[in-house]
């Protein structure tokens, strides 16, 4: 592939300016970068103006892992407590559903009994 002078491939540009390839593709799509397509590949113009595109520096590793471990442990404890509360609430609601289903069944049986009684004795008042 013959490189056009003053242009870099997506990978070269990505490495040189510490910008992800997907970010470069989005910028190309939004027409924020000057580019050409050569042999089916995007080439991005690099000039002093483009060198000023800000990039996010890589995150530095933590010097001491203990504070982050404490935060993680506290988060896990909080999640476990929340899950326990939710499981208790689910159990309570399941029991309530069973009670309500039983009540519905009893009321349906009573309704059926009253209807049967009414048809057996038509002089009874309407329900």
Burial group, residue 16, by CB count within 10 angstroms (0-12, 13-18, 19+): middle
Give the pLDDT confidence score for residue 14 in this predicted structure. 85
**Overall average pLDDT of the 110-126 stretch:** 81
Could you say which DSSP state residue 52 is in? Answer: G
Q: 0.85 exceeded by the pTM?
A: no
pLDDT > 90 in the chain, percent: 24
Three-state DSSP at 86 gives: helix
- What are 59's two structure tokens? 């995150």
Angle at 106 between CA 104 and CA 111, to 5 degrees: 90
Q: Is the pLDDT of residue 122 over 50?
A: yes
The pLDDT tens digits of the residues spanning 46-103 come to 765 444 454 545 555 555 556 778 888 888 888 888 898 999 899 999 999 999 999 9
Q: Is the pLDDT of residue 126 over 80?
A: no
- What are 119's two structure tokens? 């048809």
């Amino acid at each position: 592939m013959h490189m056009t002078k003053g242009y870099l491939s997506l990978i070269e540009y990505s490495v040189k300016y510490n910008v992800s390839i997907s970010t470069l593709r989005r910028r190309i799509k939004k027409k924020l970068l000057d580019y050409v397509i050569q042999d089916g590949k995007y080439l991005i113009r690099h000039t002093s103006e483009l060198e000023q595109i800000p990039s996010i520096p890589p995150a530095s590793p933590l010097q001491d892992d203990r504070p982050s471990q404490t935060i993680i442990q506290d988060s896990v404890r909080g999640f476990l407590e929340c899950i326990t509360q939710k499981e208790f609430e689910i159990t309570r609601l399941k029991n309530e559903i069973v009670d309500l289903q039983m009540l519905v069944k009893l009321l349906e049986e009573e309704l059926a009994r009253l209807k049967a009684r009414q048809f057996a004795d038509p002089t009874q008042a309407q329900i």
